[in-house]
Structure 1
Amino acid sequence: MPRTASRSGDPIKLLQLLWAPETKVGRSGTTVAEVLDQAIDLASSEGLDALTMRRLATQVGVGAMTLYGYVPGKPELLELMLDKAIARTYKGHQKPAQISKWPAALRHVATRNYEHALEHSWVVEVPPARPILGPGHLLKYEDELTPLDGIGLDDVAMDQALTHILSVAQHAARWEHAIQQARATSTLTDDQWWYSVESSLYTLLGDVQLPVSNRVGQTLANAGDPSQFLTRSVDTVIADVSRQIETPTA
């Protein structure tokens, strides 16, 4: 299980780095943008645990103390990486604000956030914290809220609908990532793993009766289906929004 990464840091310094990063090239020939690109590449290829300031300095080709001249510490580095990665969610894809029908836009939001999180699986390892007020997050939030604006929801309902979509997409990606990791480190298929523990589990259960969960569990795949969960969850949000539009609260 990956270690929990800290996301505390100097908020004012972080805002300055997010909105007005140093673009001039230092004596090392490196910029903040290049440092972030190297950090994202390292985390994407080897996971968040591999990302240390010392390792990143080696990757960038500068001394550890020089690296701190670009980014004050690991917490600020993570925030900057997240904002830059988030800004790429719709790169090469249609933006939600460009989709005229809000249900289609919400499905697109869910799909892109899910796929993007799997492409950059280190993102799901970062714990939730206060919002990142950088350009990547704020512009993405604007793009994703726009399809819900003017359809009959109040501001709170708009934010809640979008938050629900993003939360289930993140959960589905985290679940799928965990399944992929388990399969990559195991010599057994899902069916083989279940067969290896099934008899011992039923022996230990003894007289414990689980008729409903047994039936449901046998209906589902052994490891579950994150993408199907995401689809059903998005359908639920869309149905809920439709009801709110049709029967607005007095």
Structure 2
Amino acid sequence: MAATATGPAPGPDRARAATRSPARRPPSRRGPRHGLTSEQVVAAAIGIADADRDLTPLSMRRVAESLDVGTMSLYTYVASRAELVEAMLDSVSREAVAELEKIGTDGWQEGLRRVAAGNWHLYLRHPWLLQVFTGRPGLGPNVIARYDLELRVVDGIGLTDVEMDAAITLVHTHVEGVARRKIEAERVVRRTGMTDAQWWEKTAPALAKVFDAARFPVAARVGQAAGEEHQAAHRPEHEYAFGVERLIEGIAALVRR
């Protein structure tokens, strides 16, 4: 299954529990409310994480300060930072659900392109999502709806249920990997204050001393061609699009067999 779920399908009791959004759970602690809603708390947290482009600095204190309330008052809406992050994941998954619901009847190949694009743009809007997917599935209603809609794209094309799950997981894994490379590269630029072009210009003299084109002719030829094409060591947008098309071709070959 994709990052949204693992293992066998939940039974009725677990399924009912999974459809309760973390943002709508009953208060875990008693205390006065401050005219807020759980949705406002989650939205504030998302705003902070989006601005930072990083989940690590997010804290209950920062969320409380942004809402002009005491930190302890937030615990009447969410039980912990972990529960808050889970609710954030489910909230932004609603964006993916809205896009998936627009997928028409243009064929499963175009549908998979839309699935990939939806995940790609979700990561770029909310790069902190890359720090959420750590192997444990989210179980909010929007996360589950997203997974269901993605599976429908490849339902009935000739894959088994296990192959359907694997196909969607494959798309997720590719998009996540390339998005991570892109976002990490952007962080390096911000941290160093140096663009890729500036870095290459600075390191070129040192590289010329250690790189022997005669000894590594294939690396020299291919590296030069790719560098001239992308004007960089790599271009995530090209890697993303190239990979998606190869995945679709591979799945099509499996369907034909």
Bin the TM-score by the shorter chain: 0.7 to 0.9
| Residue pairs, 1:60-71, within 5 angstroms | 60-71=67-78
Which residue number corresponds to residue 217 of structure 1? 223
Q: Measure the CA separation in 2 of the matches of 1:80 and 1:32.
A: 9
1:147 is displaced (CA, Å) by 1.5
1:94 is displaced (CA, Å) by 5.3
Measured against aligned partners, the alpha-carbon deviations of 1:14-68 in whole angstroms (never above 9, x if no partner) come to 9555384349xx6301111110000001100123233111111111222121112
1:90 is displaced (CA, Å) by 4.5
Return the letter of the residue paired with 1:233.
G
Query: When the two structures are superposed, what TM-score results if normalisation uses the length of structure 2?
Result: 0.81
- Contact 1:96–1:147, Cα closer than 8 Å, also in 2: no
- Contact 1:43–1:122, Cα closer than 8 Å, also in 2: yes
Which residue number corresponds to residue 243 of structure 1? 253
Which residue number corresponds to residue 22 of structure 2? 18
Tell me, yes or no, if structure 1 residue 56 matches structure 2 residue 66. no
Query: When the two structures are superposed, what TM-score results if normalisation uses the length of structure 1?
Result: 0.83
Pick from 39, 43, 60: which aligns with 1:37? Answer: 43
Measured against aligned partners, the alpha-carbon deviations of 1:187-228 in whole angstroms (never above 9, x if no partner) come to 433222112112213424579943333332222232411111
Pick from 150, 166, 182: which aligns with 2:156? Answer: 150
Pick from 84, 87, 96: which aligns with 1:77? Answer: 84
Which residue number corresponds to residue 196 of structure 2? 190
1:118 is displaced (CA, Å) by 0.2
Question: Which runs of 4 or more aligned residues in structure 1 lie more than 6 Å from their structure 2 counterparts after TM superposition?
Answer: none
| Residue pairs, 1:125-136, within 5 angstroms | 125-136=131-142
Give the paired residue count.
233
| Residue pairs, 1:222-237, within 5 angstroms | 222-237=232-247
Structure 1 residues without counterparts, runs of 5 or longer: 1-10
Q: Measure the CA separation in 1 of the matches of 2:179 and 2:72.
A: 36
Pick from 89, 101, 105: which aligns with 2:107? Answer: 101
Which residue number corresponds to residue 4 of structure 1? none
Structure 2 residues without counterparts, runs of 5 or longer: 1-13
Q: Measure the CA separation in 2 of the matches of 1:151 and 1:241.
A: 10
1:95 is displaced (CA, Å) by 2.7
User: What root-mean-square deviation, in Å, do the aligned CA atoms of Structure 1 and Structure 2 show?
Assistant: 2.6
- Between 1 and 2, higher relative CO (CA 8 Å, sep ≥ 6) is seen in 2
- Contact 1:22–1:31, Cα closer than 8 Å, also in 2: no
